[in-house]
A and B are shown apart, each in its own frame.
Chain A
């Protein structure tokens, strides 16, 4: 197993290299010029050229790439064109809100979706099941920003139970931190909850029809043991796969949620950087996102071996 993990970690290097090359050239081929933005609306061509030279953007693209790659190998993501701050520091500053939002969303989604999926499968075709599946369709069809505004309207504006928007770092107290995360997590989580609940139900239904569940019932085991150990452990591989896909989608999904709820995280940083064509920041962010997705994939793959003893690496 250890050998497998090491091998997989090495295999991520070429993936990251391809991502690095791709993002570097893609953003340079996109229309828009950071020098023009910095120089201002009324700037002359000379002024723009001067800014471009200062930023090193007048050099051949391949040379720029070589410089950036060498920095990258030393763990240096470069310096933001606009704020003149190191990209690593910019990302580090914005990491906590995004991490907190992603994890709390995941927690909300998984902690609710798996139990309701199990119950829906157990009570298949009964009222509970129909309610759950109806909710799943609705939750899946609802755009995040629509739901977010509905939630803000009722919970924050009308009933004043939770803050409208903003983020309270965990360093400023646990309860304000949690409060600031509830609405965004629910808004962002409902889609994944619907997705995970559906997969859990489908996977459980298939497993509940298996011979070994009949065996478990013939032993007179308690219902919770049959459902949560005998069935759910067998149903887990597809569920975990979807949770993994969910995490990957979530990382991209936070961009919208952070904007709606005014949370200063990586999503907001990305939007700002892309609009300004802040090349080093965009490059750094995409590498971080890609790295996160590769890591999630690895964790999911490893978890299979713990869930199903027939899977060996």
Chain B
């Protein structure tokens, strides 16, 4: 399942335009599936600044841990506490209810650097492990 609205990093994070230079960020359903049941998440604080492709948190399953990379640089506006408390949301609704953070992008054009849904689909089919 790939959200056609979102754009993607090779590390499977997605970003979606929320308007006004604000983007929501999450993890693709492919990545969530690979990790298995997620038991813990470490997310940044609102106000933290992120760099594009810099780490902004960690998701842990029972047998794996995976760093989260920021699709865009900017300031963290909001963190989804609901998903922190109920990680199953990531599996159930990775592109809507399962968003992780919202970012005020410092350079919204970074969005254009990301893979679009078609490219990400192709990436999954050819390269991703």
* A and B interact: no
